[in-house]
Structure 1
């Protein structure tokens, strides 16, 4: 089971609310995309859902349990967070870094056991890091480090994955691989994926449901097909957009000033 329930949740920084109270329920098997301008609160929302930033008001429940009542290690088994910027500036190998994801499943700092190995190897393989397994992470490119951070999250094996701009720094091949992996985790492994994105087309192609955060603090949430409309997206980004093409090949693009 993997679910998130937001009850009149108000999130923000230093007690300053960034949006109106939010009521939402997200279930296992769903990919959610959060769309909004820079500074609207996407990262703050994810940090609040992970329990790393206190809510201004309201509550967050994971699998029916208020996260404020959930011990940190137990919460780490239920919720995993991929930060937008993951600085991996230490002399560990890729395998050692990815192995850190398993400590949520150990008592204290108990050494990893044989049961952890399949999770670590699967995470490395899923992110295409086999050839880099023994390379130090501080010698990797930004995109390679991004894949290591994702592999560490996969090794953690949480039911709820919170991804802050997951395709950030990734080239086209690894971006496509990542998004396919995200959909498999949700639809086949029955995880809940909740990700912030800037790219409307990523949301259109890969999300089942969308949360729109408007600059005025308002929001809308629902099926992607209903949320991704020209009127709503223009309000989200404070700029007119249009849908070009039909079906699976359709693209969302900003409308030029001359055509608006």
Structure 2
């Protein structure tokens, strides 16, 4: 049950917790632990604004059953969001269609151009190459009442094209920024993301971000990159939770977001 309704301002960056790595650990045995739904519940109770999953066709972490169980769980948290990531040419659209048909449609579908055997997402969509195949799938999602975000590299010139295929948001792929953290390239990378976000906003897109964001680099990103509506964080957050617990970890990430948000307003 939703025991902690949130009243964050709309413009504050939301935290969506990716629970893939919980499923990865569970799948190493046949005991059903750790529980993905329990992890999601604890994160939501601690104040996370959403839950993200990225089910891949080989089910190496999130399985089909998890997607439906989490969708059912999220019905008890009407002020939070369920985000499903994946390649719409693989299994993503099947989940969206079936969930919508059962009255449990996700709030957001994040289209990611990864291959079936790819270890993790490592690049965004490219335009005009991907426009023709994406446009009808984006339109289908939106007809089902699902917001669409496209996983994109921080290239300002690509943002108008993402809007042209019907996307509502872009999720900026942040691994290059994370890799540059603490190096002389950090400021340059931040400037790249700020420019891409500004171009997205100018095109009429919402801005999300994700991949390798953590407690060290998150506040600066929120402070310097304009208009970030949501960050989706999994690997680092779940790794921190092994040491700190889910509640303390979610609260620590919210503190980073607050610090970035306050720095942005005071700058």
TM-score class, shorter-chain normalisation, is 0.3 to 0.5
Rg (Cα) greater in structure: 1
TM normalised by structure 2 equals: 0.39
- The one of the two structures with greater contact order (alpha-carbon pairs below 8 A, sep at least 6) is 1
Structure that is richer in strand per residue: 1
